[in-house]
């Protein structure tokens, strides 16, 4: 972004009323590889793109099981994400120990947000450089939350973060009204489609993505590679040569929209925390 004299530490306001360190932390989230989440009334699906640095290395873990009823996908500084996942696991298990029941997702998310806020108001700390998509189920239904480094959190029907996430958002914005009543299979299918959008023409295979599901009678778990590949094949989402056109999937009619071009963020210049 812009180098200026008010961005050295997080406890310095700019004259325009911004905390640049927090905004830079949110940039780090945008640089991470894409992760998306969507929810129906009964299920939440999280999916992420896992690119390995080289053919020789394994890819980074971006989706973590927090408890039987909660999972989280991260984008940004994965080390920060790992630490926060450990915190979330700890909170869940402590709650279970005291109350013999599942920590409501909304409460976990507030605790996470308050933890992130602390780092925006201490001169000896820095904000966490990771965005968290928290998906889970509790008594009040299925929930999907996005926690950002600023300490804000929002609930979503569907969300995407990381690089080229705008493409996935565009796809989901068209379809989100169908998600609430969607079946588990269709929800996963939509997740894979949305993930494909972020790849900009590259072939979607199960080796470069991770998909996880949690549902009413289904503990949070990551789907194994064979299952994911079978789903990709079944929905014929594998690949396209030209990024400009969208191949017409079976049940979508007349989508003539040119595909995955990243739209410039329309809210550039506005402090992201205000969104």
Residues engaged in binding another protein (CB under 8 A): 97-101, 104, 106-107, 110, 138-140
Least distance in Å: CB of 140 to another protein? Answer: 6
Nearer to another protein, 7 or 138 (CB): 138
Nearer to another protein, 95 or 176 (CB): 95
Least distance in Å: CB of 93 to another protein? Answer: 14
Least distance in Å: CB of 107 to another protein? Answer: 6
Least distance in Å: CB of 61 to another protein? Answer: 30
Those residues with Cβ within 8 angstroms of residue 90's Cβ, 6 or more apart along the chain or in another chain:
none
As a whole number of angstroms, the distance between CA 275 and CA 262 comes to 19
The DSSP H or E segment spanning 85 is helix 78-99
130 secondary structure, DSSP code: E
Nearer to another protein, 9 or 68 (CB): 68
How many CB atoms are closer than 10 A to CB 210? 22
Question: Exposed, middle or buried: residue 89 (CB in 10 Å: 0-12, 13-18, 19+)?
Answer: middle
Nearer to another protein, 107 or 122 (CB): 107
Least distance in Å: CB of 220 to another protein? Answer: 19
Nearer to another protein, 139 or 177 (CB): 139
Nearer to another protein, 110 or 271 (CB): 110
Least distance in Å: CB of 138 to another protein? Answer: 7
Q: What is the CA radius of gyration of the chain?
A: 19
As a whole number of angstroms, the distance between CA 109 and CA 113 comes to 6
For the chain, give percent helix, strand, coil, nearest 5: 30, 20, 45
How many CB atoms are closer than 10 A to CB 251? 8
Q: Supply the angle between the helices 225-234 and 184-197 in degrees, to the nearest 10.
A: 90
């Amino acid at each position: 972004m812009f180098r200026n004299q008010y961005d050295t530490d997080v406890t310095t306001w700019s004259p325009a009323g911004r905390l640049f360190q927090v905004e830079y932390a949110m940039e780090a989230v945008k640089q991470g590889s894409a992760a998306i989440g969507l929810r129906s009334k009964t299920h939440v699906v999280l999916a992420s793109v896992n690119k390995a640095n080289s053919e020789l290395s394994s890819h980074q873990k971006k989706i973590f099981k927090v408890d039987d009823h909660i999972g989280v996908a991260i984008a940004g500084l994965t080390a920060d994400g790992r630490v926060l996942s450990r915190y979330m696991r700890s909170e869940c298990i402590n709650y279970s120990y005291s109350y013999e029941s599942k920590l409501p997702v909304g409460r976990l998310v507030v605790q996470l947000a308050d933890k992130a806020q602390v780092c925006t108001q201490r001169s000896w700390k820095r904000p966490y450089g990771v965005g968290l998509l928290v998906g889970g189920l509790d008594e009040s239904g299925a929930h999907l939350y996005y926690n950002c480094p600023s300490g804000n959190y929002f609930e979503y029907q569907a969300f995407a973060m990381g690089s080229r996430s705008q493409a996935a958002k565009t796809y989901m914005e068209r379809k989100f009204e169908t998600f609430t009543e969607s079946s588990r299979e269709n929800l996963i299918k939509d997740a894979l489609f949305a993930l494909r959008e972020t790849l900009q023409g590259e072939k979607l295979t199960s080796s470069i993505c991770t998909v996880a599901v949690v549902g009413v009678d289904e503990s949070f778990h990551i789907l194994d590679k064979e299952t994911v590949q079978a789903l990709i094949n079944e929905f014929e989402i594998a690949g396209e040569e030209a990024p400009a056109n969208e191949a017409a999937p079976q049940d979508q009619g007349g989508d003539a929209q040119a595909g995955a071009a990243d739209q410039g963020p329309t809210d550039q210049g506005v402090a992201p925390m205000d969104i």
